[in-house]
Structure 1
Amino acid sequence: MRPVFRKLSAMLSVTLLLILTGCSNEKYLVLDPKGPIASAQKDLILITVAICTAIAIPVFIITAVIVWRYRERPNSKASYKPNWEHSTKLELTWWGIPIIAIIILAIVTVNYTYKLEPSTAIQSDKEPIEIQVTSLDWKWLFTYPEQGVATINYVQMPVDTPVRFKLTSDMAMNSFWIPSLGGQLYTMSGMAMTLHLLADEEGSYYGSGANFTGEHFAQMTFTANVTSQEEFDAWVEDVKATEAALTEEDVVKLKEKGTHEVAQFSSFPDNVFYDIMMQYVEEGEKGAHAHHVTTSEDAEASEHQHH
């Protein structure tokens, strides 16, 4: 039996090694949250792990005890009941405990699902800013409608200020994700998804596309830089004073497949975000879709004023 156990141990070690090497360090950032959304998501992860661990550990212990106690050996003192077929206590135990655990998990998950609805505005004393996010192959375009600047593969935001991200895609569906701040919401062509995030600590945070989109998917990353409000305002003024404008021709080139280095622009074409979003929508559907987007924004503004 010992060679078998050695083989199983070796296989288990190799499997764990492959799992650990297959997970990049960025994925562990969810356990080091820098905002209220990420903190709530971390709580949900820990609660779920605790419940599952409370079930798994006793099961592993009982399994080991049973294997050891009822192993084949001379003069075994374990009771032998060849005609045994039913036990109400045991049935209630191995069905009741999982059912209770699933009910608890369901209640916790539903509660956090409503609590973490991405389109729900974050309550704050500060007015939210809007950043429009467009996923392209294989780069991220960020436009700031209130500040009038744009960036590629780089986003800057003020600390302790709610950010309303508007998400769309030029072609392939992707997933916008800043692990330290929470979120991960799909970007889809013809749609403007809404994701509210807030950073409560200054720093530079890793961001990426979390959906496979082809050849250079792994390079579709960006930096989210969180600074004070004063530094954010100074950055906007510096970009406006020193950088070139993003033109219609530049937008056409950005739509071409390929990677792109970090870039900043002092201005961008009017409605570039919505033009990209609506480019594949049929003419007869544009009016209704545009009205839906407008009324959604009005509803968010009304909700914020209510809070």
Structure 2
Amino acid sequence: MEHLKKLRGLLLLTPLLLLSGCGTVLLNPSGDVAMQQGRLIVVSTVLMLLIIVPVIGLTVFFAWKYRASNKEAEYAPEWDHSTQLELAIWAAPLIIIIALGAVTWISTHTLDPYRALRRIDDTRPVPADVKPLVVEVVALDWKWLFIYPEQGIASVNELAAPVDRPIKFKITSSTVMNSFYIPALAGQIYAMPGMESKLHAVINKAGEYEGFSANFSGEGFSHMRFKFHGLADADFDKWVANVKGAGGQLDRAGYLKLEKPSEREPVQRWASVSSDLFHAILNRCVEPGKMCLHQMAEIDARGGLGLPSAYDIASKPAYSADPLSPQRRYVAAFCAPGDPVDLPLYSSVAITPAILKE
């Protein structure tokens, strides 16, 4: 019997031992946005427990009170309604739902990742003269590219930012949908090809934090991780200087090589980066001669290439039944030679005719 009691005690301690290995970064993060999200989890859990705990307790109580061996329990087979019980059963969940709805509505707007930060933490607003650090994020197969347009540098699988300075992430993907996530900083944000997601966040404590992809994206997904360094202003300046000292330039040709799938990619740094690289990645036109998505969208917005139509664009020689007579010439393709970013819309579109039968 004594052995059974010890075994029961060990079984009760097993869940606690399992939980002891779990990290608490979600409930004890180092960034203000993640801190607010952690509080939202706690508040929502407590509100739901206000219903769950009494229901579980009453279930156990009723099972014990009305057990078959309790002959003193009240037996009322004809009982079918109680106004007081109906009010209690429906009023309590309704109040909880209203409270959860209010908390969710407020938090959804306050923690909108596209919304610029208004505070550094719960005691300090963002100073009016402070500009956010802009970081352009590209999810590759299977690594992360970070571009600092203001500093003119880039890195792979290494991210750094100064403490207590707002960060504005611009996020996209090269191939498939991915998810950018630093638990200590803020919630995860999807990265999608041809689209730009945004995330505003701030880190409040210096340290090294884990970042990774939170969305399965293929064979090398599990190794798609990076280090995020929260640094003091002076240390961040040193980090930027070290990156610049690494030498090298990341241009379009270099990016096309980097874009090829690879796993367990080590940290890479570039002292300079093409100013239009992220724009070209976002608009799917890094390759030479490829029209950008924003150019296609502008053509569509102007009514498409049907105005003037292909019939009007084509040369129209006089009709002849003679098979040797000149055939009509139609527009068969549109290409964008040169730099599709710097050239105006229609000056970068060259018409390439092809001889087709009418």
TM-score range, shorter chain: 0.7 to 0.9
Structure showing greater relative contact order (alpha-carbon pairs closer than 8 Å, 6 or more residues apart): 1
Residues 249-302 of structure 1 show CA distances to partners (whole Å, capped at 9, x for unaligned) of 331122212221111111122321121111179958514869xxxxxxxxxxxx
Distance in 1 of aligned mates of 2:43 and 2:172: 33
Indicate whether 1:203 and 2:216 are aligned: no
Mapped to 2, the partners of 1:228 and 1:53 lie a distance apart of 41
Q: Which residue of 2 aligns with 1:78?
A: 73
- Distance in 2 separating the partners of 1:215 and 1:285: 28
Deviation of residue 16 (structure 1)? Answer: 6.2
- Tell me the residue number matched to 2:113: 118
Distance 1:195 1:289 in 2: 25
- Opposite residue 170 of structure 1, the aligned amino acid is S
Q: Which residue of 2 aligns with 1:304?
A: none
- The answer to whether the 8 Å contact 2:156/2:267 transfers is yes
Cross-structure match for 1:270:
275
Secondary structure of 2:279's counterpart equals helix
Counterpart of 2:240 in structure 1 is 236
Letter in 1 for 2:47: I
Instruction: Identify the residue that residue 286 of structure 1 maps to in structure 2.
Output: 294
The residue that corresponds to 2:46 in the other structure is 50
**SS of structure 2 residue aligned to 1:29:** coil
Kindly report which structure 2 residues correspond to 1:52-71, keeping only aligned pairs within 5 A, or say none. Answer: 52-71=48-67
Deviation at 1:34, TM superposition (A): 1.0
Paired residue secondary structure (1:77): coil
Q: Counterpart of 1:30 in 2: which secondary structure?
A: coil
User: Does 107-116 or 243-252 show the bigger shift?
Assistant: 243-252
Indicate yes or no: 2:160 matched with 1:156: yes
**Letter of the structure 2 residue corresponding to residue 88 of structure 1:** T
- 1:238 partner SS: helix
Once residues 297 and 27 of structure 2 are traced to their aligned partners in structure 1, the CA distance between those partners, rounded to angstroms, is 38
Q: Which residue of 2 aligns with 1:92?
A: 87
Q: Deviations over 1:50-88 (max 9, x none)?
A: 1112221111111111000111116x1111111211111
- Name 1:253's counterpart in structure 2: 257
Residue in structure 1 matched with residue 134 of structure 2 by the alignment: 130
| Matching residue's letter, 2:81 | H
Structure 2 letter corresponding to 1:120: R
Report the residue type matching 1:263 in the other structure. Answer: Q
SS of the counterpart of 1:190?
coil
Structure-2 separation of matches of 1:88 and 1:150: 68
Instruction: Say if 1:289 and 1:107 are closer, same or farther in 2 by CA, change over 3 A.
Output: farther
1:46/1:151 CA distance change after superposition, 3 Å: same
1:193-238 Cα distance to aligned partner (Å, 9 max, x none): 1110111111111111111111121111111101111111121122
Instruction: List runs of 5+ in structure 1 lacking aligned partners.
Output: 1-8, 291-307
> Shift of residue 20 of structure 1?
5.7
Matched residue, 1:303 = none
Between 1:239-248 and 1:223-232, the stretch displaced more is: 239-248
Aligned match of 2:181 in 166, 177, 184? 177
Matches within 5 A, 1:6-21: none
- What is the alpha-carbon distance in structure 1 between the residues aligned to residue 114 and residue 108 of structure 2? 12
In structure 2, give the amino acid aligned to 1:57.
Answer: V
Mapped contact 1:168–1:192 kept (Cα < 8 A): yes
Distance 2:256 2:22 in 1: 35
CA RMSD of aligned residues (A): 2.8
- TM-score scaled by length of structure 2: 0.71
User: Would you say how many aligned residue pairs link Structure 1 and Structure 2?
Assistant: 278
Contact 1:148 1:267 in 2 (8 A): yes
Alpha-carbon distance between aligned partners in 1 of 2:56 and 2:244, rounded to the nearest angstrom: 62
Distance 1:284 1:162 in 2: 31
The answer to whether the 8 A contact 1:190-1:280 is kept is: no
Tell me the amino acid that sits aligned with residue 111 of structure 1.
I
Partner of 2:343: none
The CA deviation at 1:159 is: 0.8
Larger radius of gyration: 2
Q: Which moved more, 1:263-272 or 1:178-187?
A: 263-272
Q: TM-score, normalised by structure 1?
A: 0.83
Listed as ranges, the matches of 1:178-193 within 5 Å are 178-193=182-197
